[in-house]
Structure 1
Amino acid sequence: MPPNPQNPMAPIGIMNPGLITGITPTFSPLPTGLPQGGITPSPAQDGTALSPLGTLLAGNNGPQGIPGQNPQAQNLLQDPNQKPPVDPNKPLDPNKPRDPNDPNNQDPNKVEDPNKPKDPNEMTEEEKQKRAEEIQKQLEELQKKLQEDMAKGDWDAAAKDLAQIQSLQKELGQLTGQQPGNEAQEQQQAVEGAQNAAPEQQAQQEQNAAPQQAPQGAEQAAPQAQNADQAQNAQASNVGDPTAEEQARINQILSQLPPEQREAIKSVKMGDLQPGVGGLTSSVDGGGSIILDRNAFQSNGNYILLHEAGHAVDFKYGISGNGFGQGPFVTNYAQTNRMEDFAESFAHYYTNPGKLQATSPAKYNVVASLPGMRR
């Protein structure tokens, strides 16, 4: 609105409260005389009076007090939320968080991290597959390193291993479209449990290392496989034979397997394992020595025993190198490494064959072709 010709002292236009701070805005043309709202008009060079809004609208590109002659002022009047143009001479405020929508507050020296994982949404299918294969190899190496660090009692290194495993499993889930399950949490619980049990285990080992009198010709207290299994995993305690009821259930579960596969299982013991660990299978002397967690066996014994039986069969026949360790995977835990992939596929063949066949027909056919399978 142009100045009031009847009274040049009257302010122009409609005050926008977002343009000037510290004042009481007025929302309608003001009457003649002093403006309302406690604003004192300021004289212009040509003798006219300008309100603060008039001063803002005046510019070098046109007469003072006439809105619309200054393009910047006109744009601000039309869109009060419009951001001002970039000022190249304005220094950056180091204490102000970077606002991606504020061109005046961007860091011109910012460099993208070349090691930052690429967004899966920006990757081609070929890139996703290649990255997934890289992660699989890294996970296998980290799993081995985690076991080694736990066996040495290097818990700081084990914690770092676990953090890397969890990060890679999360990235792998984004690539494959499968959300990570509870395996990472279970592994963390296992590491923490082993760490808490380490002082007690060390004292027990020192006690066992003390010289003891033994009858002449007496056999060693435990077979080599069991000793190696416990030393390797450091997670089993109170290991012993199953009860009569447990043995009957074990026999019933293993009766599903053909003789060629049952032969791969040398023994099944019961014990107390670390939280999150349902069973262990030793690879010593060709493998086949299984330890089951007694509590886990009561709730999910069928699947756990078949999973461990899969490890025993794999140790005997070396099947996991035949296409396992690559997607698609029947479970999230199968992504851990090729041996876990085979054991999960083996257990699903007996408990949920339809899911395995729908997820990976190739892996289903490998299990179906194992020695002793009826074709």
Structure 2
Amino acid sequence: MDIERDGGCRTASAGVDRTWLHEAVRRVEADANRSADTHLHVFGLPEEWGIDLYLKDESVHPTGSLKHRLARSLFLYALCNGWIHEGSTVTEASSGSTAVSEAYFARLLGLPFVAVMPASTSPEKIALIEFQGGRCHLVDDPGTIYDEARRLAAETGGHYLDQFTYAERATDWRGNNNIAESIFEQLSLERHPVPTWVVVGAGTGGTSATIGRYVRYRRHDTQVCVVDPENSAFFEGWTRGDASFETGIGSRIEGIGRPRVEPSFLGSVVDRMISVPDAASVAAMRWTSRTTGRLVGGSTGTAMWGALRVVAEMKAAGETGSVVTLLCDPGERYADTYYDDDWLAAQGLDIAPYDETLRRFVETGAWVEPTPAGG
């Protein structure tokens, strides 16, 4: 990049840098343009209930998860803010699907990418990031990943994407094919085109913020329910009204559980939160895979547990309408964890009581809270 100094101020001449920027934005936009929108599947519920459940399948993105949308938005946001330039090293604090998707976009732009993650991250996740051209930087203390990603970016003169700060603002919540606009367009010909509830996980907070803002902007009565797994900070922080709340404990449900309330979580647009035990997430994940024939991950299981509970409550109250949740990521990534009975036993997770709740729901539509073994 050519630099000119005028009166003590540093200014970048437009030439090479602006040419590279234009091409970089074109490549990122082209990725969206050649990708069909994700499917909205109908989940079979008895017609007489008057309630329809839909699953927005985000696992069909090129990098296999909902985070593909976020990564695209984060890169466009950083490019158009002038934070990423030709040759910039891009870093992120992530051990999951976001890093996989960000590595994809970095490679698309010919940029080096480093994912800072706990040393305990599964080899499968590391392999997925490396497959997309990224490098994994492992740290012993999970609480240091944010500062370490920031340090590496500064050290290389690069850019820290910081999904946990920018997720809620990088996406245009008013439209521009965000996930909320897509859901409402796909529901337009259904018998209940405006959903009563949309149920999503917390994660960065970006998805719930986008949907919550969108329904207010479009003047819909849709309510947003956020599900949160064990040891994650969002539920307790939202309940207390404390955006600084931390648990200091890692979550076993990758992708949505966080040890702190992340800066991009906008609790003011969330109408309800449900705390979901990890055993319930795994039970619902496996049940959803058996029921739909699609192998899904733990975050999808958490979302499905919450969505089914909301459906049961609507039925009990004599309400009709529609509920939407997300198929967040594919289950193949979790063959050695959530789908491994030995792993569950080692974690002390007994899914049998939660399987029983799901069985009763299918048979009667009623929701009976499980009693965990020994409880």
Q: TM-score, normalised by structure 2?
A: 0.23
Q: Which has the higher strand share?
A: 2
- Larger relative CO (CA 8 A, sep 6+): 1 or 2? 2
